[in-house]
Structure 1
């Protein structure tokens, strides 16, 4: 069995769904997984298992072998979307499996046909259920695509006894190509691990919630349009509605957004680089056009503190700290956020820290200065390091990791965490197995550093050997590359 699965891994398969896992001893499953190779991306294969509820053994017996499909989750979602979606606020306490050990779904190839769960035949309600699943911070979500059927034992579309190409027409049903689903996948990936926040129940059919300050979603399962004001905790600005691929936008002012939700519809937006069209459809500069500015600041904080950016223009609060833009801590100790800014505009800005009591701590360096053009712009900064005294070094390291483990850089400078693993800089795995990120450090400075790995439980592994060393000059744009030791 392991040899066969390894052949699939060699072809590029990243993981496996194990059918009827509960009919195999968990020790046998783990013995098979122990023989599997890493994927072509260098990670362990992702394993999730079908452990149908009811007769023994329970799902918890299989947690050591991988994640488990959560049938109760799908049942609770069906009950809510065929009843009151407001009931979803209590989903975590409704008997669903632990999020760290489970995989959610709205339906699958068995349960859509036996009536246990929803199916494509539920129309827009089925789509909304998938929007909710992709938005809610719980277990690993899955979107099921299949084919239309009129009887429970009907075969897939075929011609002369052969299954036809899966072209998402002619009887094939492909939610993964639906604009709402593709938009919510982007949304899901953008908000990361931010917790559910600012839950709002407007009626039994209308709910809204955020994921930290990274994104917000509102759902109307009712039969008529509904307009409500939601407090969503995100920065003021204009955002694209990913559910309709950016055809409509959302304006946030004073931390609030008034949304008109279509019947059986949703609106979702996030702090990110979502662009509904390429640069060819950018509007000309008429004095009102905006561009996205992404702020990234290395800023370790104490418990209860958040980091905001404030500046000389209205989009950054006009130096009023009460209107400063709160940044997301999802990449801590780097705080990040996107702000809609006027094009071709010069401005000054600084970062501030706010605690729960509202106390403000300003950076001690001089104001930072910048200018927007007509394209998106990004800023990489470090707390208390002035732009004039700083340069950027891009750290690259080739390092393979197990699933759930990430690579960081930590070193002798404050902007590299002062050797504290808790304040290490998380590197991006976008070019895996190369991990990379630019970091702001002082000019004309020699420093030492190392790469470390952290797993999902926070365990730290330092690379071996002596400390690495690097010296910056007075220019900008330095790069250093290496291989994990």
Structure 2
């Protein structure tokens, strides 16, 4: 393989890239603006009305708050640091006010008025009666609703999705909320569902008749002077619905894309259906909706999505932000949908669930197998589809005691809202803190947009049921993210201090998360773990802990106002990390998180680097990557979160072999003390293994903050000849405080037996340590051994030297 290389190192000061990979793979190319930063935090106003009298709908479940989205609530959310509010679908569902119950399934099963009815749409005749009832149309530039739908069989009657709900509010209420939210710099994200309608469109007869004869389905109409839709005699165009094909297997796209499980399924390949969807998007755009959450992304074929979103963009219908729900926990399965739009990062949800709910090591959070770093993914802990007293099916790892699914008990019609087992799980203190710590992790990260369901936010208060009281984990994490975003903190560096404690350094501050049952004293050494060849990831200066963001102090250079720890600040120097009042060390409580922000974040910067390679020859299924001697470059391997993978830019034949990374932000060095990062380009197989890499490393120099600009370096040859990658693994390597495990050996890459040059390993699953090393022109066998180091103190593994015979991995035990 011959690769001609060109690397563009685009260096800038204080910039941060929030999304996404290549131009051909970022969903915003279709519908959403890639130029807009990702939402810092999304408040999920699940099943939350915007009107004071939401029909007969009560609380979501027994004991749930009955808050409404009024001005006081908007002010509270803005003060906390939320930037967006996600609303439930404002698509009509029957309110069951007269005792009738909508029917959503082919089994004719009846349900009372519950939240999920809003995910089965009413399609309505868009006439003057509808315009009068949905008075919000006046705010869209006119009261003629026909431009927001398509035409029925007669070719003249306009039909389209009904917007407005007796449970949540009318279109006029929605427009008023959007305007009020804009006054608090809050964007409104609408939850939308496009492919399924309500069985109510079949009338009052047997709903299962629609399965064999879709012609019994008719649009609803608004009677003159009325507000409750009734069935019309208008016919849908031929082929408007997919044929019923039985209960689906959700992992088989062809079945998931034609299911009638939640109502008659629209044929989204039909030109009239596509026109109806595009024009409904236009209505939301005209109402000033900021973004979308698209439900059931996998239920619409990718080819139909491409057609729909391309038509929307051609019509000028774009949004600042949006994402879709495509449920799967594996990155390869989610990847095709990332080409459409950003998606919910269920892969990360699975990882954080294993850590915080199932007690896996926090080391798996350092570089998780997720979408968070390569796409503008939305991250979450307990989503509404898995929340107790809400979920109609299974449960996630959060909020289950024991950690398993159960059948709803003590409920009418087998609904979860009054299930006693759900109620117990939801109110279990340990379950609450599991979810809150997961949210703290997601808010402390650089990438992703955490989606926080309102019930988790409700529990994050000073509450006598907490021990200790008033953890305020989410509140403090929101303030931390807001401060980091205010500084455009560009990088993150994570270290598992042990299996329970995680350090997340963000250059202008750092977070410490302790999921364990024991407190931990944080010594200076915990904040000085990065390799000595790199600059300090936690700068020496004055830090304020657990505080509330206050923009009024920005003029003085301070981005934080001390609240919960009034008067207590910490100072980090080259010799200690202690409070300035009494000089005591920091104690990180058990099952809690602490956040520290530089009081005067001046004079700090980062270098944002885009790696690029031209004329790279790859086989089908392979990608390019950049690996190097730095955690951000995988320490010689591809990171599980794919941060150092490269995206093909092949939007045209001229760009077919052009590959780039997303901007990777390194902590800046200085003019006096620059540091270098050796790196190589590599060809990556579909399973993440390295197929080949260039033979000679190139050094990237990170020096002073400078004024930005670019540097270019050209190279020739390479392709992996003369290089070899070996993965080292040593188990049972227990360490004392301050110790780390290193691999050392006879080759230059292993330090030539000089302990000062030994290669540090990572505690990926403590007490197991791992490290991947790239050898240039190796001469096997190579002798090696493991050591434990703390400062100048060195402990050698006993016994004879070990040898690398030429294999790609070695697996050892410290004994």
Give the TM-score taking structure 2 as reference length: 0.29
Give the TM-score taking structure 1 as reference length: 0.47
Larger radius of gyration: 2
